[in-house]
Every structure is written in C-alpha cells, then in structure tokens.
Amino acid sequence: MIVRRRSAGDIIEARCTRCRDVLNHTIVAMVEERVVRVQCNTCGGQHNYHPPQEEKKSSRPAAAGKTASPRTRKEAAPAAPVIWEGRMAELDPDKAIPYRMDATLRNGTLVSHSTFGLGVVTAVIKPNKAEILFREGTKLLRCTL
C-alpha cells in the first residue's frame, strides 16, 4: 500500500472557525509535514488549521454510590409514557378537544393533537403557552389564555 503525503492543494477535514463545523478544506500552507493554514470549501474563509476534535472520554471514573443530576442522566426523570398512561386512565378520550393554536386551554384539559395524539394540559404558561403531556413526552405548544 502506497501512503501519499499531504501537500498544498489537497483536501482535508478541519474545523472551520466561521462555519463552526467540521467541513472539507483545501490546504493552503504547510510547514514541513504539518498543515498550518487552510481554506474552507464551503464559505471560502482562510484560517489556521484546526483538526477535528475527537469525542471526549471521561478521564475520571464515576464515584460509587453517586448519581448523576437529571440534566446529565435521562433515566433520573420518570418515564413520560408511564405518567401519561396514569393520567389517561382518569380521563375519557371521547371528551378530548381538537388542538388549535387559538384554543383556550386550562390545566387538566384533554386535547387531541394531529401529530402527537392524545395529551393532557399540565400547565398554562404566560404568554400564550401550554405544557401538554403526550405519550412521547411533554411539549410546549401555543394557546390563548
């Protein structure tokens, strides 16, 4: 197998400082074997070479008995389908009102959404927002007060 060395004019993946993403770049300048300057093939901007970052791995092991906060560990929050099924057992699906953005909603109102299905209003947040619990999870949707 022949290994070809990089040279000016070659295409390389780099982190673009303008686009803020890993994209294809053209090598503009090199010092010995090292790429030092590149030009983004998407936006045309020239900048110093920033190699794509690899996924960071935790350098320290998790402490025994310590649980992660709900923000970092999704299992800490109760599962939405379980809560949803409990709330649906209390309500009659035939009495669900169709969801509309201009509908007036109150806590505990059962709504029928065209995409998310049946849901129950858990909170009305000013201005004009309602937090609705569906089987997939909680959604923040528009409403009138």
Q: How far is CA 54 from the centre of its chain?
A: 19
pLDDT of residue 78: 57
Tens of pLDDT, residues 62-95: 555 555 544 544 444 556 778 888 888 888 888 8
Helix (H, G, I), strand (E, B) or coil at 81: helix
Of 108, 107, 116, nearest in space to 134 by CA: 116
Q: Which residues pair with 97 in a beta bridge?
A: 111
Order of all β-strands in the sheet with 117-125 = 97-98, 110-113, 117-125, 129-134, 137-142
pLDDT at 47: 92
Confidence class for position 6, pLDDT limits 50, 70, 90: confident
Round to whole Å and give the CA distance between 25 and 37: 10
pLDDT for residue 62: 54
| Sequence-ordered list of residues with C-beta below 8 angstroms from that of 97, at least 6 positions apart, any chain | 103, 109, 110, 111, 112
pLDDT, tens only, 7-48: 888 889 999 988 888 999 999 998 988 899 999 998 889 999
Strand-pairing partners, residue 118, are 112
